[in-house]
């Protein structure tokens, strides 16, 4: 069900809006400030557009555009003016928001990060993209895992970013940690259209979760993003799908209580449970081993493919070969502290 896009909100419903944001071109600090202001305007539009809306989701690259520019001048920080503006916009409009930033990293390349901010302006989820779209993207690989937070009306939210959604393990990790709604913010262009659709559906069905996914939209004079926001039901069917109109907000009501009911009550295709309880009809409790070689090899640090891979760095896209090793995971500086980052009033 979609509740007519949220017009008829159910008691247990969560209404989301996906913003097919016009693809910007941002090259300067002034341009960054102007685009942040534009995003805040659209937070207000979302609230006016549908009074029942709980959460408005912006695509990846909505603040920076697709230039892959890593200039320090246009990188963001959690305590910087852009994030402060987003937090104030959510507080002022009494709506949750999901935002994309390219985050400064003093130790290396910037992170491609995402934030979920609640309707009081508090940061509830902070995530760094685990799987940059190599070899095209120069971003540092994420090191905060796949966090899950409590969302509006008691829902459980996770955020994955663009290429993350092509890895079944990403959505599975989010669902395993309790996510009922998996947000996917993206900047994809038209060649990815088919893979976008089927991966959003597969991520939903394979994990009995809703997926809510949106791309940038329109052209910046060089690149053409496709928009095509879509909501998928936990059975894999498409509930609502947008087209290619820039700045359109695609809306849908989701029912996390029905996800919980399916995860608890389904027998057939309850794959989250059955992954670790194989063949429970034949053997008591099902087989509870790990039969997957790649999982063992990853955990042991010996992951090797049985074929040659030719592209293993970013030189084909104009990036110099890296000279640093991955430093490993780190503690999430927002989600594991008792007090949220202080909200600063934006002038």
**Per-residue pLDDT for 62 more than 90?**
yes
Q: What is the distance between the alpha carbons of residues 71 and 81, in angstroms, rounded to a whole number?
A: 17
Q: What is the pLDDT of residues 77-95, one digit of tens each?
A: 999 999 999 999 999 999 9
Length of the chain: 347
Higher pLDDT, 340 or 257: 257
Q: What is the pLDDT of residues 105-122, one digit of tens each?
A: 999 999 999 999 999 999
**Per-residue pLDDT for 164 more than 60?**
yes
Predicted pLDDT at 340: 41
Mean pLDDT, to the nearest integer, of 189-216?
Answer: 97
Q: Find out whether 129 and 166 touch, Cβ atoms under 8 Å.
A: no
The angle subtended at Cα 24 by Cα 98 and Cα 136, nearest 5°, is 85
| Average pLDDT across the chain, whole number | 95
Q: What is the pLDDT of residues 32-49, one digit of tens each?
A: 999 999 999 999 999 999
Band (4; pLDDT cuts 50, 70, 90): confident
Band (260; pLDDT cuts 50, 70, 90): very high
Could you give the angle at which helices 81-93 and 29-49 cross, rounded to 10 degrees?
A: 10
Band (1; pLDDT cuts 50, 70, 90): low
Band (2; pLDDT cuts 50, 70, 90): low
Q: What is the distance between the alpha carbons of residues 19 and 1, in angstroms, rounded to a whole number?
A: 20
Which residues participate in catalysis according to the annotation? 60, 129, 162
Q: What is the pLDDT of residues 325-340, one digit of tens each?
A: 999 999 998 886 433 4
Which domains are present in the chain?
A: 3-275+308-317 (3.60.110.10)
Q: State what percent of residues in the chain have pLDDT above 90.
A: 94
**pTM for the model:** 0.95
The angle subtended at Cα 82 by Cα 139 and Cα 108, nearest 5°, is 25
Predicted pLDDT at 346: 45
Predicted pLDDT at 339: 37
Q: What is the distance between the alpha carbons of residues 176 and 180, in angstroms, rounded to a whole number?
A: 10
Is the N-terminal amide bond of 270 cis, ω within 30° of 0? no
């Amino acid at each position: 069900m979609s509740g007519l896009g949220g017009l008829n909100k159910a008691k247990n419903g969560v209404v989301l809006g996906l913003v097919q944001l016009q693809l910007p071109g941002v090259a300067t600090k002034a341009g960054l400030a102007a685009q942040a202001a534009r995003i805040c305007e659209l937070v207000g539009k979302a609230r006016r557009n549908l009074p029942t809306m709980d959460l408005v989701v912006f695509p990846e690259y909505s603040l920076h555009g697709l230039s892959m520019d890593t200039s320090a001048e246009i990188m963001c920080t959690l305590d910087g003016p852009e994030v402060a503006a987003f937090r104030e916009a959510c507080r002022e409009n009494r709506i949750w928001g999901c935002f994309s930033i390219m985050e400064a990293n003093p130790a290396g390349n910037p992170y491609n990060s995402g934030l979920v901010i609640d309707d009081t302006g508090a940061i509830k989820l902070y995530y760094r993209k685990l799987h940059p779209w190599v070899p095209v993207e120069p971003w540092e690989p994420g090191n905060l895992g796949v966090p899950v937070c409590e969302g509006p009306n008691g829902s459980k939210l996770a955020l994955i970013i663009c290429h993350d959604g092509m890895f079944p393990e990403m959505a599975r990790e989010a669902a395993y940690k309790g996510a009922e709604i998996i947000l996917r913010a993206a900047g994809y262009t038209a060649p990815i259209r088919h893979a976008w659709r089927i991966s959003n559906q597969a991520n939903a069905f394979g994990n009995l979760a809703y997926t809510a996914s949106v791309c940038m939209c329109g052209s910046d004079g060089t690149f053409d993003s496709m928009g095509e926001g879509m909501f998928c039901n936990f059975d894999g069917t498409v509930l609502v799908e947008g087209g290619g109109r820039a700045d359109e907000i695609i809306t849908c009501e989701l029912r996390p209580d029905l996800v919980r009911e399916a995860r608890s009550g389904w027998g057939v295709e309850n794959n989250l449970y059955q992954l670790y309880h194989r063949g429970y009809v034949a053997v008591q409790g099902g087989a509870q081993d790990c039969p997957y070689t790649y999982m063992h090899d990853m955990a042991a640090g010996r992951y090797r493919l049985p074929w040659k891979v030719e592209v293993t760095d970013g030189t084909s896209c104009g990036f110099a070969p890296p000279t640093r090793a991955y430093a490993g995971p780190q503690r999430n500086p927002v989600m594991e502290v008792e007090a949220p980052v202080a909200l600063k009033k934006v002038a």
